Structure 1
Amino acid sequence: MTKDTDILCIGSVLWDVIGRSASHMQQGSDVPGRITRLPGGVAMNIAMTLVRFGMSPTLLTAIGQDPEGHELVDSCRQLGMITDHIYRSEDLPTDRYMAVEGANGLIAAIADAHSLEAAGTKILLSLQDGSLGSEKAPFQGLVALDGNLTQQLLQDIALSSTFTLADLRVAPASPGKAERLMPFLAQSRGTLYVNLIEANILCQTEFEGSAAAAQGLLSRGAHRVLVTDGGNPATEADATDLITQTPPEVLVTRVTGAGDTFMAAHIAAEAAGENRDAALNRALLAAATYVSGETPL
């Protein structure tokens, strides 16, 4: 690990614009509710949870030098993240995510991460210039990586010697981007955090539950996986063991960021030395508490 950080969070850091209503919604619904704008993105959500667990995450992402970008970077610093290695583009605007949630869950969402995708390898310069690592001295430590990066960049990371000594933890960001994780299956690199839908997409089949999905991913070449399925049992597995636990029952009041909270809590638990059973239990509890609305946004 580097002197200043416990973990690198690589991926999307943007503004979340979330509309929430207590009503059940469907296409065409027009209902009262609340609209919030908060720092978000997969890498950001993971980093925020890691900070709550006492860790010091370093962000590797692309943020514009527009007013929204300056405000976002300031917010990241105030929340306890290390922002020294963020790529600040003069030409690209700060990314945004917009979602609508009802009492029946996520209705629709659009992720505009075009600036992150356009920045490409520029967000990784500090891992090559000696700031955080170099070709001769690769970064050693935890890395949380999200699938908002381009397919090509994720493939390069899966093959790169830059990450040879890193403990890679990878999430697809959304079912629509799940296939971007295929290089990590092909190379048997990293720990993959996916939900059942994303596991189905990666394996091009329909699994009956998280345990079957975990086994399917391992047979496809995955090194280690964690598969969640909402309020149904979740599974953590590698070639040596398979552990399944059922999350606590809670009233769901929000869903955006739940998977990121689960991943971050699991990483923090293992970083603190907890065993596999305890780490999975802690992650499920953290995610359940999050969706119930009992933790700060």
Structure 2
Amino acid sequence: MPTPCERWGESGMSQPEVVVVGGINVDLKGQTSGRFELRTSNPGTLQATPGGVGRNIAENLARLDVAVTLLSAVGADPEGERIVRETAAAGVDLRHLLQLETERTGTYIALLDRDGELVAALADMAVLDRLSVEYLQSKLALFRAARYIVCDANIPEAAIAFLSAFSRMSGVPLAVEPVSVVKAQRVAAHCGGISLLTPNLDELAALTGTEPERRTVARSAQVLVDRGVATVITTLGEAGLCCTTQAGSLLLGSYPATVAEVTGAGDALTAGVIYGLVRGMELAEACRRGLAAAALTVAAPETVNPRLSRAQVEALAAAPPVRP
């Protein structure tokens, strides 16, 4: 029987500013020490850390001093206990998270080359299928009180549809992270209720049926704006981002960083943008916070930089980013 993890949060915690619905899992990351060779064993290093797109966004928000609640699901196993304990310690409210006796905690495996770039990945996230519409309906009071709702496409499409419809009816803005080319398909039919969508180029192609390049990204993103998405922020890796609305598009370059590895950079960017919007910043200024958070994240070996702070993000955002 699913039970909420009520012990993972203080009873006196205030209402969240942001409610995140999405993945929480163990990240297993392997990085080669030399050139990555396919179909053979590669020498390198392995590490296990807390992960999951929704969880990463929530932890980054907590480190930026935003009150955040995560709605997700884990198994009643040692892996689930560990990542829940560490996520709660970072300041994320997990009192409403489900712990399921009959499921195992999700696992994500990433293979990285020696420069920290992703070569391949595999995700076992079946436990998130238990994030039903009924479960979300039981959390309506949280959603209504929030200033922003964030979800990732790890959750079932029915849950995304519910959140999109709720956002349209309530006026509480919804941000969606597509996660991957495959999972982006769960988002395509629900654009009308999405205030902010944050695809990369490959996910943008999957969502629009176009073949966007950096020089044509604004045209492709406009397809989603025309379908009802208020703002599309297309992440461009080291080239920065393209922010597209009905008013047009803005290209912003990234901040310089020495890359340790790229896992979690997109999650940090999304969290930085949401932080800026919740704090009342204009969209362009919020995007600068997202780029700053991403730069501070790729410079750290962890999926979420444990040294990330609001002060660091604000200091870096005050500097001009690299021109796109």
Task: Give the equivalent residue in structure 1 for 2:224.
Answer: 217
Q: Secondary structure of the equivalent of 1:278?
A: helix
Question: How many residue pairs get matched?
Answer: 289
Q: Which moved more, 1:114-123 or 1:156-165?
A: 156-165
Uncovered stretches (5+) of structure 2, i.e. residues with no partner: 1-12, 308-324
- Aligned partner (choices 144, 147, 158) of residue 141 of structure 1: 147
Alpha-carbon separation, structure 2, partners of 1:163 and 1:260:
27
Which ranges of 4 or more aligned residues in structure 1 deviate by more than 4 Å? none
Match in the other structure for 1:156: 162
Question: For residues 28 and 134 of structure 2, what CA distance do their matches in structure 1 show?
Answer: 26
Q: Which residue pairs with 2:209 in the alignment? A: 204
- Within the candidate set 273, 277, 281, 1:270 is matched to 277
In the alignment, the residues of structure 2 paired with residue 232 and residue 52 of structure 1 have an alpha-carbon distance, to the nearest angstrom, of 25
> Measured at CA, do residues 67 and 163 of structure 1 come closer, stay the same or move farther in structure 2, by a change above 3 Å?
farther
DSSP 3-state at the match of 1:253: coil
Paired position in structure 2 for 1:115: 127
Shift of 1:205: 1.0
1:16 matched to 2:23? The reply is: no
1:139 CA drift (Å): 4.0
Shift of 1:68: 2.1
CA distance in 1, matches of 2:208, 2:277: 27
Match of 1:256 among 259, 263, 272: 263
Q: Which string of whole-angstrom CA distances, capped at 9 and with x for unpartnered residues, describes residues 107-157 of structure 1? A: 1111111011134235425424x4x25xxxx34421110000122322233
Q: Counterpart in 2 of 1:90?
A: 101
Say whether the 8 Å CA contact 2:259–2:298 is kept in structure 1: yes
Question: Which TM-score applies when normalising by structure 2?
Answer: 0.82
Q: What one-letter code is carried by the residue in structure 2 that aligns with 1:49?
A: N
Q: TM-score, normalised by structure 1?
A: 0.89
Q: Provide structure 1 residue ranges, at least 5 long, that are not aligned to the other structure.
A: none
In structure 1, give the amino acid aligned to 2:156.
T
- Tell me the secondary structure at the aligned position of residue 205 of structure 1: coil
Instruction: Give the match for residue 298 of structure 2.
Output: 291
Provide the secondary structure at the position in 2 that maps to 1:255: coil
Larger mean CA deviation between 252-261 and 273-282 belongs to: 273-282
Residue 188 of structure 1: CA displacement? 4.5
Instruction: Give the alignment's Cα RMSD to 1 decimal.
Output: 2.2
CA contact (8 A) 1:85 1:126 kept: no
Secondary structure of the corresponding residue to residue 231 of structure 1: helix
- CA 1:140–1:288 in structure 2 vs 1: closer, same or farther (change >3 Å)? closer
Q: Tell me the secondary structure at the aligned position of residue 169 of structure 1.
A: strand
After TM superposition, give the deviation of residue 72 of structure 1 in Å. 2.2
